[in-house]
Homo-oligomer: A and B are copies of this chain.
Amino acid sequence: MSATISPLAPKKYPRMPDIEGVRMATAEAGIKYRGRTDVLVMAFEEGTEVAGVFTRSKCPSAPVDFCRANLPGGKARLLVVNSGNANAFTGKKGRESTAQTGKAGAEAAGCAANEVFLASTGVIGEPLDAGRFSHLLAGMVRDARPGLWQEAASAIMTTDTYPKVATATARLGDTEVTINGIAKGAGMIAPDMATMLSFVATDAPIAAPVLQALLSGGVGKTFNAITVDSDTSTSDTLLMFATGAAEKRGAPRVDSLMDPRLSGFKRALGKLLKSLALQVVRDGEGARKQVEITVTGAKSSRSAKRVALSIANSPLVKTAVAGEDANWGRVVMAVGKAGEPADRDSLSIWFGDNRLAHKGERDPDYSEEATSAYMKRDEIRIVADLGIGSGKATVWTCDLTKAYVEINGDYRS
């Protein structure tokens, strides 16, 4: 948690409705931080279905291993999250810590061991003493209540400067269902999985395999399309819980991905995931500008995304944006280095509506003045048209400022 709030923080937060079947509690366990909450519990009513997407890191954290092992059960009753320590690269001690938390959680919630899910975020490599908070779980579950979404989002923050929440509604059959989500950033963010921690809950009665397919499909254009610093975390975890409580109000139970009644829900979920993902980018460490990068005319959409990420991860592009310099030459460089099909002489580049480069050279009608004015905005759009196909993709990142270096030069100490 930083003293300075990102200039890109939301001007106002949405009112978060309750999700029937979800109760929350937060606590100050003093794991690393002082004077703030650092433990979150979400308790789910019986029968809640769960889906998850995790980091593709070859060095995943102990909680990621723990969740992966429990996910095939498809049912969740409790989520326990701590901030301040990632319980990653902690070996046997790390496994003991998740086992202890899992056991205490199952006892607290009165559920099966595989109905508990865990996530940890913070420093890597320090053993996490589960004894710091496992004794709190029973009380937290007992006292948990709906309506604490903002508090929940605050408890999981690390270098984040603001809590991230989003809500959406959709019609399922003739019934309105709700989706709420929270997320945390803000460094070690790269789109090779559900980025860092995010938890989504809905009252829609959707079976776990369907929920999993929706979630896995939903991350491609949202969490997996953002990058702060190209560094994929050991701990990336996106979990989604469906309590099914809306069934009582008439929502149909959905057991098949082919169910046409899902379309509105799918759209709403995509919107919510995108909102959370963008909030993560907008709170990227040291960020002062949001950058949207769209690549069109690529050989395929897969190729377009790779080129877009090459631009989004380029330190030279990101520092240029920080310096409010429409340095499109660096976009050329990033397209060229992406290792994807491209043809220099077909390439065109826009910053906002200003076309700076066209068919392999500087646009003769390009106005330095108009573009410089554009670069002063806090949301920058870059479009690169490769001119060789119809593949298209959009990704989001932030600028690279001195504050990023500052924050990460002394985060651990």
Contact = CB atoms under 8 A, between A and B. Distances in A.
B332 A234 contact: yes
Contacts of A231: 314-316, 330, 333-334, 337
A342 B401 contact: no
This chain: copies in complex: 2
Contacts of A126: 362
Contact of A315 (B123, B230, B341): B230
Contacts of A319: 404-405, 408-409
A124 interface: yes
Contacts of A323: 408-410, 413
Contact of A361 (B90, B340, B409): B90
- Find the residue from A90, A359, A408 having the highest chain B CB count within 10 A: A408
Contacts of A356: 125
Q: How large is the interface on A (under 10, 10 to 19, 20 to 34, 35 or more residues)?
A: 35 or more
A248 interface: no
Interface in A60-104: 60, 86, 88-94
A281 interface: no
Nearest to A58: B342
Contacts of A124: 329-330, 332-333
Contacts of A402: 402, 405-406
Interface of A: 55-60, 86, 88-94, 123-127, 187-188, 190, 192, 229-234, 313-316, 319-320, 322-323, 325, 327-330, 332-345, 347, 356-357, 359-362, 400-402, 404-406, 408-413
A200 B360 CA distance: 31
Contacts of A413: 323, 325
A230 B313 contact: yes
A232 B59 contact: no
Given A231-B314, A320-B412, A332-B124, A361 B89 contact: yes
A327 B122 CA distance: 13
A412 B332 CA distance: 14
Contacts of A357: 89, 125
